[in-house]
């Protein structure tokens, strides 16, 4: 199937996913988080009497009013099921949904028919594990993951390996929380993995893996490269052709979009090779009582009624990010992380995990001697500062770090240095209240 033409949109749907509306790349403009915060209704509410400082965007981001309005506008004006409908609303709904696909493709430098909508990163990775690896690998083949993976990019591979008789191996980390490149090269040479599945950015260590280089190495060794982009696509400029990966998974809700929607980018040849996980309406070409054939990708992988309103609203989120410029988003977070790193390392008894700021994105995990991360998060909540505490769906990594839980602060476009100062004040207060009391 050739890339779907971009259909006309009803003008009532806000932020139509037309041609890339991002301004021509100009010298990176600095973001002004205090101004951007006005676009986010939830950031106007106080928590425990203080301005909300939201430092949990790695779990899910907040949404600008334009995205919330796009979701409502779809239901108010254009709600109908997609495809096959011959009435105005069905055509508008289809245009919104397929237009969102084109918008995602443009954002990533992909073709429209390389974009599969899923429920999220987790579903996208399961689709690759079962639909591609589960059918293409043979008993004895190796799947290579890393020690820093989120459970979403580990457990599906464990499951498919157990079912198919594949070996699962993990790339170890250096002492500062980066991938051990020598070990990676050795594992490629010794085991010739058929799949290399790795995070672009760790949701705990903040490490940004040099995916373009690692993918080139892995492909030269004959592996298909699957990237968990849940923490990178929202925060860094990502171009799938430049990265040279076969699959890339991410979630709309971590990048200003709605919950219940994710994306699997798949290189066209790989999608052709992949079997569907879900079957039923919308994904077939021809059905007889005893057997069926499948539609071409991407529809082959989108059985049932898809998240239409969510896709329309996600297009609006991508427009918002494109207007800011992903270079500017990344530069802003780099600056914030450098500032936070310097401030946090001054706090007595605080241990930082992961590499120096130059190798990381906007996620910082830490522990404070004598204060359980959950207690720390609770004290901070009392100050209106939202962070996350726990294993962040990375139990093997936490075991490797020698802790059961960490506290994690994560940044996005609406955070600034004042937020970091509030975090540090809150940690100091927790220490006074709790540390070795
Ligand atoms: N991978 C990483 C690195 C993540 O941070 C997350 C979300 N915490 C996921 C995968 C899973 O994303 P989702 O829950 O949206 O499927």
pLDDT in tens, 313-355: 999 999 999 999 999 999 999 999 999 999 999 999 999 999 9
Cβ 61 under 6 angstroms from ligand 1: no
Q: Tell me what pLDDT residue 29 has.
A: 78
**Which 3 state secondary structure label does DSSP give 248?**
strand
For each successive 10 residues of the chain (437 residues), what is the average pLDDT? 35 38 55 97 97 98 98 98 90 97 98 98 98 98 98 98 98 98 98 98 98 98 98 98 98 98 98 98 96 98 98 98 98 98 97 97 97 97 97 96 97 98 98 82
What residues form DSSP beta bridges with 145?
170
Q: Which two tokens stand for residue 35?
A: 């101004």
Q: Tell me what pLDDT residue 27 has.
A: 52
Residue of 230, 255, 397 with the most ligand 1 atoms within 8 Å of its CB, for mutation: 230
Q: Tell me what pLDDT residue 278 has.
A: 97
Cβ 251 under 6 angstroms from ligand 1: yes
Cβ 203 under 6 angstroms from ligand 1: yes
Locus of tokens 């100050």: 383
Cβ 422 under 6 angstroms from ligand 1: no
Ligand 1 atom 5: the closest Cα is on which residue?
Answer: 203
Active site residue 393: yes
Pairwise CA distance, residues 210 & 202, whole Å: 12
**Which 3 state secondary structure label does DSSP give 138?**
coil
Ligand 1 atom 12: the closest Cα is on which residue?
Answer: 121
Residues 70, 137, 249, 393: which is the catalytic one? Answer: 393
Give yes or no for a contact between 393 and 151, defined as CB atoms under 8 angstroms apart.
Answer: yes
**Which 3 state secondary structure label does DSSP give 80?**
coil
Q: Which two tokens stand for residue 133?
A: 């690896």
What residues form DSSP beta bridges with 167?
142
Ligand 1 atom 4: the closest Cα is on which residue?
Answer: 230
Ligand 1 atom nearest to CA at 254? 15
Give yes or no for a contact between 149 and 227, defined as CB atoms under 8 angstroms apart.
Answer: no
């Amino acid at each position: 199937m050739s890339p779907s033409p971009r259909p006309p949109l009803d003008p009532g749907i806000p932020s139509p996913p037309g041609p890339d509306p991002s301004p021509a790349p100009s010298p990176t403009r600095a973001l002004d988080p205090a101004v951007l915060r006005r676009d986010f209704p939830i950031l106007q509410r106080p928590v425990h009497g203080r301005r909300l400082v939201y430092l949990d965007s790695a779990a899910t981001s907040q949404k600008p009013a334009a995205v919330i309005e796009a979701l409502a506008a779809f239901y108010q004006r254009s709600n109908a099921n997609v495809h096959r409908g011959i009435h105005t609303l069905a055509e508008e709904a289809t245009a919104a949904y397929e237009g969102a696909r084109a918008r995602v493709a443009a954002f990533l430098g992909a073709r429209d028919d390389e974009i599969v909508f899923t429920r999220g990163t987790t579903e996208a990775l399961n689709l690759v594990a079962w639909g591609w690896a589960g059918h293409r690998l043979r008993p004895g083949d190796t799947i290579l993951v890393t020690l820093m993976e989120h459970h979403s990019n580990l457990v599906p591979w464990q499951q498919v390996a157990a079912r198919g008789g594949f070996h699962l191996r993990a790339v170890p980390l250096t002492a500062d929380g980066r991938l051990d490149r020598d070990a990676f090269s050795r594992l490629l040479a010794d085991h010739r993995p058929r799949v290399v599945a790795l995070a672009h950015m760790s949701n705990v260590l903040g490490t940004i893996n040099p995916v373009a280089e690692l993918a080139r190495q892995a492909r030269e060794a004959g592996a298909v490269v699957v990237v968990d982009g849940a923490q990178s696509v929202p925060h860094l400029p990502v171009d799938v052709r430049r990265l040279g990966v076969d699959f890339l998974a991410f979630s709309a809700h971590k990048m200003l979009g709605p919950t219940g929607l994710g994306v699997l980018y798949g290189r066209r040849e790989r999608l052709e090779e992949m079997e569907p996980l879900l079957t039923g309406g919308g994904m077939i070409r021809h059905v007889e009582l005893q057997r069926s054939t499948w539609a071409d990708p991407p529809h082959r992988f989108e059985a049932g009624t898809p998240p239409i309103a969510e896709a329309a609203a996600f297009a609006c989120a991508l427009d918002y990010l494109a207007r800011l410029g992903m270079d500017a988003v990344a530069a802003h977070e780099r600056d914030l992380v450098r500032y936070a790193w310097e401030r946090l390392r001054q706090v007595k008894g605080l241990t930082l995990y992961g590499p120096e700021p130059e190798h990381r994105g906007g996620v910082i995990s830490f522990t404070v001697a004598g204060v359980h991360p959950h207690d720390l998060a609770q004290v901070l909540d009392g100050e209106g500062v939202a962070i996350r505490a726990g294993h962040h769906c990375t139990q093997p990594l936490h075991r490797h770090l020698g802790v059961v839980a960490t506290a994690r602060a994560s940044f996005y476009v609406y955070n600034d240095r004042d937020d970091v100062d509030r975090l540090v004040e809150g940690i100091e207060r927790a220490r006074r209240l709790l540390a070795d009391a």
